């Protein structure tokens, strides 16, 4: 396992276990997150983002990790209170042993449907 794969796995297993202190040890102070809700900058704001999501999550499983010299991609499945199964991916840019950038991709449609939103509500 490469160093970046290990960092990605340790980070992802930590947040899925709700151990935010362990997860945040892998995150740079100036981390930037791009996710469906928008851009979030800084470790404190990123931690708040994770805390909000973990309030909904009931379980999580890593399905695959791909790593190279610039970072890693982590694919996972989560179970949440509003949506039974949600698939997601995090692209992690890792520099000097810390996660500097996170791009999170997941399908928001099941979450919108769980809220009772229709296509016209999202336009």
pLDDT digits 0-9 by tens, 50-96: 999 999 899 999 999 999 999 999 999 998 887 788 889 999 999 99
pTM of the prediction? 0.87
Over residues 38-49, the pLDDT tens digits come to 999 999 999 999
Hey, what are 78's tokens? 């989560």
Alpha-carbon gap, residue 76 to 121, rounded angstroms: 28
Alpha-carbon gap, residue 17 to 15, rounded angstroms: 5
Alpha-carbon gap, residue 88 to 86, rounded angstroms: 7
């Amino acid at each position: 396992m490469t160093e970046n794969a290990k960092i990605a796995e340790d980070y992802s297993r930590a947040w899925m276990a709700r151990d935010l202190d362990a997860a945040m040890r892998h995150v740079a102070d100036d981390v930037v997150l791009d996710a469906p809700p928008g851009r979030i900058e800084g470790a404190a704001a990123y931690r708040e983002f994770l805390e909000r999501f973990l309030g909904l999550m009931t379980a999580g499983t890593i399905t695959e990790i791909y790593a190279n010299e610039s970072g890693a991609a982590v694919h996972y499945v989560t179970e949440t209170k509003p949506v039974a199964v949600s698939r997601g991916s995090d692209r992690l840019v890792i520099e000097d042993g810390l996660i500097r950038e996170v791009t999170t991709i997941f399908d928001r449609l099941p979450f919108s449907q769980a809220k009772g939103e229709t296509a016209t509500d999202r336009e």
